[in-house]
């Protein structure tokens, strides 16, 4: 069962283009969307939320292809967070709450108030007096307060302080105890995804570079360290992103098993981080 499906979707906006995007976001899992700024993450999210229409291709949400006709019903099931706040500056929490109550069929006011208190959001202040972190918290509180079964989060952690970031990731994981819950999470702080993401989608220049189970990705690619002496033309063929220093070399390889067999304990194999992997794959493509 897919929560979000894009088939051959294209969209041109000015000089930027999303090209033939095929994407299946599995229901019941956390998918991380990574890519550099301007890679097309936000455009993709705007398409999913029905804010933009694709030039070509088909989008379906929860298996429903009539996204335009059922826009209201579908958006009721989605909680969203934008990378930048889009709140009316002069409003306050109580005013916004009244609006949200009317818009969301299933708006859970007590839960919303619970999050407002838990996140220490100032109720009486106008939004223009909020810090970026506080705006983001408000955004998150809204997304979590109408019983959504799909969360589409665009860079939700970028303006959060580290403490709250951890709290937020824990909340997301608690939500995932419900197997109908799906989270699509775009971020450039990829350490958010190292632990909790099930799938990783990497997008670059409007195209999907890969869409893979995170565990499989991290098993495939490893960081290798070893003495410079063992590097020769053949070994270097199996390695990318080689960095040589006085104390040895460091590189990334998807042939780490072969190299381990060849060199045994001379080589140290380490788990990669997602940002290292992203950097590596991006560079590999540019070469």
Partner 1 sequence: MFKLNIKISNTMDVPIYEQVKDEIIRLIMSGELGPGDALPSMRRLAKDLGISIITTKRAYQDLEGAGYVHSIVGKGTYVSEQNTELQKERILNEIEGHIEAMLLASRQINLSREELDEMISIIEEDMT
Partner 2 sequence: MDKHFYLKLVYSKWTLIFTAIVIVLNLASALLLNPDTAGLMPVLNLANLFIVLYLTANYMNVHVLMTYNKSHEFFMALPANKRDIIRTDYIFHIFMTLLSIFVIFTFSLVQDGFHHLFGMIMITGVNLLIASLYYTFFAAEWFKNVNIMVALYLVPMGFTFMFYYMPMLNLLGADLSTIPQWEFILYTLPYFVLAAGILTFAVTYFTAQKQAAKSDVI
Using CB under 8 A as the criterion, which residues of the chain lie in contact with partner 2 when the complex forms? 46, 49-53, 68-69, 71-76, 80, 82, 85-89, 95, 98-100, 102-105
197 binds, among partner 1, partner 2, none (CB under 5 to 8 A by kind): partner 1
* Sign of the torsion formed by the C-alpha atoms of 252, 203, 194 and 212: negative
Tokens coding 64: 């429903």
- Whichever of 17 and 269 has its CB closer to partner 1, that residue is 269
Binders of partner 1 in range 217-236 (CB under 8 A): 218-219, 222
Beta-strand relationship, 150-154 and 182-186: parallel
Q: At closest approach, how far in Å is the CB of 20 from partner 1?
A: 27
270 binds, among partner 1, partner 2, none (CB under 5 to 8 A by kind): partner 1
Binders of partner 1 in range 184-223 (CB under 8 A): 194-199, 213-215, 218-219, 222
Nearest-angstrom CA–CA distance, 98 and 42 = 28
- Whichever of 6 and 193 has its CB closer to partner 1, that residue is 193
149 touches partner 1 by CB under 8 A: no
Q: At closest approach, how far in Å is the CB of 163 from partner 2?
A: 26
100 touches partner 1 by CB under 8 A: no
Rounded (10°) angle between helices 93-103 and 132-143: 30
Contacts with partner 1 by CB under 8 A: the residue count is: 26
22 touches partner 1 by CB under 8 A: no
What is the per-residue DSSP string for 136-169? Answer: HHHHHHHHTSS--SEEEEESTTTTS-HHHHHHHH
Return the closest-CA partner of residue 140 out of 164, 156, 125, 127.
Answer: 156
72 binds, among partner 1, partner 2, none (CB under 5 to 8 A by kind): partner 2
Q: CA 123, 127, 131: angle at the middle one, nearest 5?
A: 95
Nearest-angstrom CA–CA distance, 125 and 256 = 55
Tokens coding 63: 């298996």
Residues lying near partner 1 in the complex (CB under 8 A): 28-30, 169-170, 173-174, 176-179, 194-199, 213-215, 218-219, 222, 269-271
């Amino acid at each position: 069962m897919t929560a979000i499906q894009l088939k051959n979707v294209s969209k041109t906006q000015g000089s930027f283009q999303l090209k033939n995007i095929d994407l299946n976001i599995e229901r019941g899992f956390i998918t991380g969307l990574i890519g550099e700024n301007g890679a097309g993450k936000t455009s993709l999210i705007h398409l999913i939320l029905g804010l933009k229409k694709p030039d070509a291709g088909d989008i379906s949400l929860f298996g429903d292809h009539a996204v335009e006709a059922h826009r209201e019903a579908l958006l009721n099931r989605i909680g969203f967070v934008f990378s930048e706040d889009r709140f009316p500056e002069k409003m306050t929490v109580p005013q916004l709450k009244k609006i949200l109550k009317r818009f969301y069929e299933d708006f859970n006011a007590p839960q919303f108030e619970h999050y407002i208190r838990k996140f220490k959001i100032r109720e009486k202040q106008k939004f223009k007096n909020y810090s970026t972190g506080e705006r983001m918290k408000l955004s998150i509180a809204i997304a979590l307060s109408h019983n959504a079964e799909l969360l589409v989060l665009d860079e939700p952690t970028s303006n959060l302080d580290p403490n709250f970031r951890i709290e937020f990731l824990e909340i997301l994981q608690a939500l995932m105890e419900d197997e109908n819950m799906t989270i699509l999470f775009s971020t450039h702080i990829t350490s958010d995804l190292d632990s909790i993401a099930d799938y990783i989608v990497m997008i670059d220049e409007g195209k999907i570079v890969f869409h893979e189970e995170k565990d499989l990705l991290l098993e495939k690619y490893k960081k290798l360290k070893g003495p410079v002496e063992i590097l020769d033309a053949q070994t270097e063929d199996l390695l990318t992103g080689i960095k040589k220093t006085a104390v040895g070399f460091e590189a990334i390889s998807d042939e780490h098993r072969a190299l381990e067999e060849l060199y045994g304990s001379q080589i140290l194999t380490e788990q990669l981080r997602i940002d290292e992997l992203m950097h590596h794959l991006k560079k590999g493509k540019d070469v």
